[in-house]
Amino acid sequence: MIYTMGLDIGSSACKSIILADGKEIVGKSLIPVGTGTSGPMRAFDGVLKDAGLTIDDISYLLTTGYGRNTFERADGQMSELSCHAKGACYLFPDVQTVIDIGGQDVKVIQISNGAMVNFQMNDKCAAGTGRFLDVMSRILEVDVSDLDKLAAQSTEQISISSTCTVFAESEVISQLAKGVHKADIANGVHWAITARVVGLARRIGIRDRVVMTGGVAQNKGVVHALSQQLKHEVSTSDLSQYVGALGAAIYAYAKVQTQAQN
């Protein structure tokens, strides 16, 4: 049995997966803090513990994500674009569009026959990223993982007109002061973040199947708003936040095979 590890060192969370023979997931771990923290090491220790293995059992450790060059024990690194494409193809072999919304950036990746052919990325502005949801959930006094449940109680469609996270934060604070319901604001927040992502996705073109990856894919309100605004069904998985780590573990297995041939 060949074990490989993928470690996705993100801006807000660290995710890790161990695969057996490049196929079967035997361990996973997620620590909700990112690069520059104890997160990478804790995700590394956590995934080994989950799999009941030690580092000596791992044939190749491949890192990806924003902090991929900062982990000394890595055998290699790969861009998160390639890893998200690879991981999404593992979960949904017929995927043609990947929308990855993480803590600090958003990427739309076009895939043809299992390989990335084009991409668009926004890492200049927080408004279309998880950061926007993190800021808004703090003001609404709700955990980011419960923002969708709050929005589901909305009865009135409101819009957040500011296109910048900082101005949108002031706008939401003033709406709260005027007595606008938190549920309606939460729903408005989902539609606002989605509008930014749709703008990016249209630049590249949307082709079915559309798969959403990254931590924000766990927010059912954003997934619903995205599918409504794109007019395409959007697929997610329980493993959405792990997709980069999964792709990294698959690439790690390919590295082991190449090494064996040489």
- List residues near ligand ADP by CB under 6 A: 10-13, 34, 65, 102-104, 130-131, 133-134, 144-145, 214-216, 218-219, 241
- Encoded tokens for 7: 């470690």
Closer Cβ to ligand ADP, 36 or 205, answer by number: 36
Contact criterion met (CB below 8 Å) for 41 and 9: no
Look-up of token digits 């040489």? 262
Contact criterion met (CB below 8 Å) for 147 and 221: yes
Closer Cβ to ligand ADP, 48 or 217, answer by number: 217
Smallest distance, ligand ADP to C-beta of residue 137, A: 8
- Encoded tokens for 1: 């049995």
Closer Cβ to ligand ADP, 19 or 245, answer by number: 245
CA distance 250 to 245: 9
Helix (H, G, I), strand (E, B) or coil at 63: strand
CB atoms within 10 A of CB 184: 18
Side-chain half-sphere CA neighbours of 247 within 13 A: 28
Angstrom distances, CA of residue 95 to CA of 74, 89, 196, 213: 29, 6, 22, 12
84 strand-pairing partners = none
Closer Cβ to ligand ADP, 65 or 128, answer by number: 65
Smallest distance, ligand ADP to C-beta of residue 56, A: 28
- Encoded tokens for 199: 């703008």
Smallest distance, ligand ADP to C-beta of residue 161, A: 22
Closer Cβ to ligand ADP, 135 or 256, answer by number: 135
Smallest distance, ligand ADP to C-beta of residue 157, A: 21
Closer Cβ to ligand ADP, 130 or 188, answer by number: 130
Helix (H, G, I), strand (E, B) or coil at 193: helix
Smallest distance, ligand ADP to C-beta of residue 146, A: 8
Smallest distance, ligand ADP to C-beta of residue 256, A: 25
